[in-house]
A and B are shown apart, each in its own frame.
Chain A
Amino acid sequence: MTTDTAPKPSLWNRLAHPGQFVALTRSWLWPLTIVTAALFAVGLWFAFFNSPEDYQMGDTVRIMYIHVPTAWLSQFVYGIMAVSAIGSLVWRHPMADVSMKAAAPLGATFTALALFTGSLWGRPTWGTFWEWDGRMTSTLVLLLIYLGIVALWRAFDDQLRAARVIAVFTLVGAINIPIIKFSVDWWSTLHQPSSVFTMRGPHMPPSILTPLLVMAIAFTMLFLTLHLKAMHTEVARRRLMALQRQAAQTGASA
């Protein structure tokens, strides 16, 4: 067999190799950064200069343009981690481990921001910063799960072993995502029900829906950019740990 007829590795196999993954995706970072910055510029312009106040909530509706995207990301990032956990457990995909680890601190931050902005929106709207209702409590539980996962990653020296344990923990914790989603339907709550993705379409005028969607896409692009950069760093960190082990062995045998 000549080299010309040798089968070319599939994209899946190339992405499974950490070095090839980094080489393939390094050039994506700048375009992602530029698109993210442009989307934030447009979204913030809409949020402050080209959207009306709500007829009930007044100007506090502008908090929605950062609260809903961070709340959406708190669940989306967990979804990415759950899919990565399946990739790690079923296919032993090396980049699935890396993806899980890189996403956890980002998800924790977005969840904390969703709770923070939600409480600042709740005070003038409901008259309270916090209420132990289904939506808020289950989101707080999500934050605690994220923090537990971050702590678990730091607790293990062997990152391959850590990935197996954390993948199982992540999949068990995924039960909280539908609980967050349907909490406003299952229990009596101060939190309003879903008003964007409903069977009858969005329950808000285009003048408010447009900045919300632009900001949601901007935050999602921000996550994708930071996640990709953090994955590159995690690949570099594993290489560094291998070098440190080698340096220690060389020192011990010398």
Chain B
Amino acid sequence: MIDLGPHAVFIIAAYAGVTLAVAALIFWTLFDARRTASKTAALEARGIRRRSAGPAA
């Protein structure tokens, strides 16, 4: 690890905070996509289809 000088704690805190927030943003984006897809799949499994998609098989 390089020497970050007397203000290392501010530099590390800034990078740690940004890393955590970006990781949370990526996690939330993927989680939201998966949750929406699984809810849609559950409805489609019950035979619910959009009218434009025609009747369920």
Contact = CB atoms under 8 A, between A and B. Distances in A.
Interface string A186-201: 0000000000000000
Given A63-B10, A116-B18, A117-B18, 17 more contacts: A58-B7, A59-B3, A60-B11, A67-B14, A113-B18, A120-B13, A120-B17, A124-B7, A124-B10, A222-B22, A229-B33, A233-B33, A236-B36, A237-B36, A240-B39, A246-B50, A246-B51
Interface string B13-35: 11101100110011001101100
Interface of B: 2-8, 10-11, 13-15, 17-18, 21-22, 25-26, 29-30, 32-33, 36-37, 39-40, 43-44, 46, 48-51
B41 to A, nearest CB: 10
Contact of B50 (A123, A243, A250): A243
A106 interface: yes
B11 A233 contact: no
Interface of A: 48-49, 53, 58-60, 62-63, 66-67, 70, 106, 109, 112-113, 116-117, 120-121, 123-124, 222, 226, 229-230, 232-233, 236-237, 239-240, 242-244, 246-247, 250
A60 B49 CA distance: 57
Contact of B48 (A48, A106, A222, A247): A247
Nearest to A240: B40
Closest 9 CB pairs of A and B: A59-B5, A124-B7, A233-B33, A120-B14, A243-B43, A117-B14, A240-B40, A120-B10, A236-B36
Contacts of B14: 63, 66-67, 116-117, 120-121
Given A116-B17, A233-B33, A240-B40, A60 B48 contact: no
Contacts of A66: 14-15, 18
